[in-house]
């Protein structure tokens, strides 16, 4: 025979379910912040082509020199990316 504590029903307050408001997992907040950050950074960095004609006209640069500036920028990014990648992984 079972002890008496198993034969009685639990109190009503133990049977009620408490509904908690769903909270957003903090990791998703970090993902959203990184996503917005990447859109802003790469959106401004890679928008050079949109302003290419305006830059060449307003500064009087040739198309080759204006494109050379962007090429140097991309080259510097490519050369420094491994260093900063290792630095960020630490």
Predicted pLDDT at 15: 57
Residue 70 lies in a domain: yes
Predicted pLDDT at 49: 87
Predicted pLDDT at 45: 84
Q: Is the model's pTM score more than 0.85?
A: no
Q: Quote the number of domains for the chain.
A: 1
pLDDT tens by residue, 62-76: 999 999 988 998 999
Buried b (16+ CB within 10 A) or exposed e, 75-90: eeeeeeeeeeeeeeee
Residue 19 lies in a domain: no
Residue 53 lies in a domain: yes
pLDDT tens by residue, 10-61: 665 555 666 666 788 889 999 999 999 999 988 888 888 898 999 899 999 9
Tokens 């307050």 sit on residue: 13
């Amino acid at each position: 025979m079972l002890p008496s504590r198993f034969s009685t029903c639990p109190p009503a307050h133990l049977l009620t379910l408490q509904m908690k408001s769903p909270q957003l997992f903090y990791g998703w907040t970090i993902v959203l912040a990184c996503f917005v950050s990447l859109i802003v950074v790469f959106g401004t960095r890679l928008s050079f082509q949109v302003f290419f004609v305006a830059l060449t006209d307003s500064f009087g640069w040739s198309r080759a020199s204006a494109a050379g500036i962007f090429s140097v920028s991309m080259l510097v990014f490519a050369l420094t990316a491994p260093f900063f990648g290792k630095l960020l992984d630490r």
